[in-house]
Structure 1
């Protein structure tokens, strides 16, 4: 059964630096609230470390409390909120040393 997916971007373009980040994740709705996203992000951070990415950017909608918690659980610290096309996005940095 497909539970979720995670993408790692090795480099950030100008638009990904603003709204996208290094790691993007998604979990099947029926599998949410089980800690899966937190685990996926942790594994992705391990891979980022292997790639030499020491400071990792993650972005989520400000109303997506579950995503924000998963990012914070992995050491994410909010830098700011920005509005893009009427949607407020939160930008988190994770120190991955």
Structure 2
């Protein structure tokens, strides 16, 4: 049975296995990884996990005028299957990327994990002060469109952005 957990240094090897499966690049949505993050070394991984914890603290983020972000890893039997992030606060990044981002490693896809995780995070959203949640996905990302629609996202339309056209959906909580 999968569970959502806060990022944890104990799962360094399991996270690296998932990261390796995705292949090169910074494309694991929901993990909050940046170009400067050294996730391979134990020290760098610990620093990255600590940064994610700081970003999850509303006192550090929203009050400073930035969005906060609750990061969760989708884990089953100490295997990292994916990640999901729930952003709170309003800034340009949230307006572009939405309140939620998620990704499932290729070998764990088509099991309903993204739908399950999105449903859990939508339950958590009101505790972070959100009354509605914006989810966006690329126009051609049928898997993400299906996930969002299964969870009750209401299609707003397509908006042209710096990364190309994005479908926009809203969840009224």
TM-score, structure 2 normalization: 0.52
Residue among 130, 136, 146 paired with 1:53: 130
Measured in 2, the distance between the counterparts of 1:80 and 1:71 equals: 14
**Matching residue of 1:92:** 169
Measured in 1, the distance between the counterparts of 2:111 and 2:139 equals: 21
Residue among 90, 104, 107 paired with 1:12: 90
Measured in 1, the distance between the counterparts of 2:163 and 2:155 equals: 20
Larger strand percent:
1
Q: What SS does structure 1 have at the residue aligned with 2:167? A: strand
How far does the alpha carbon of each residue in 1:10-66 deviate from its partner, in whole angstroms, 9 at most, with x for none? Answer: 11213421x211111111111111100001101111110222211100010010001
Give the alignment of 1:61-76 within 5 angstroms. 61-76=138-153
Measured in 2, the distance between the counterparts of 1:87 and 1:20 equals: 12
Instruction: Identify which of structures 1 and 2 has the higher relative contact order when contacts are C-alpha pairs closer than 8 Å and 6+ apart.
Output: 1
Structure 1 runs (4+) deviating above 6 angstroms are none
Residue among 108, 116, 121 paired with 1:44: 121
Contact 1:12 1:21 in 2 (8 A): no
TM-score, structure 1 normalization: 0.90
- Give structure 1 stretches of 5+ with no counterpart: none
Larger radius of gyration: 2
1:86: how far off? 6.0
Measured in 2, the distance between the counterparts of 1:12 and 1:33 equals: 32
Measured in 1, the distance between the counterparts of 2:90 and 2:156 equals: 17
Q: What SS does structure 2 have at the residue aligned with 1:9? A: strand
Measured in 2, the distance between the counterparts of 1:86 and 1:95 equals: 26
Measured in 2, the distance between the counterparts of 1:87 and 1:55 equals: 24
Q: What SS does structure 2 have at the residue aligned with 1:58? A: strand
Larger helix percent:
2
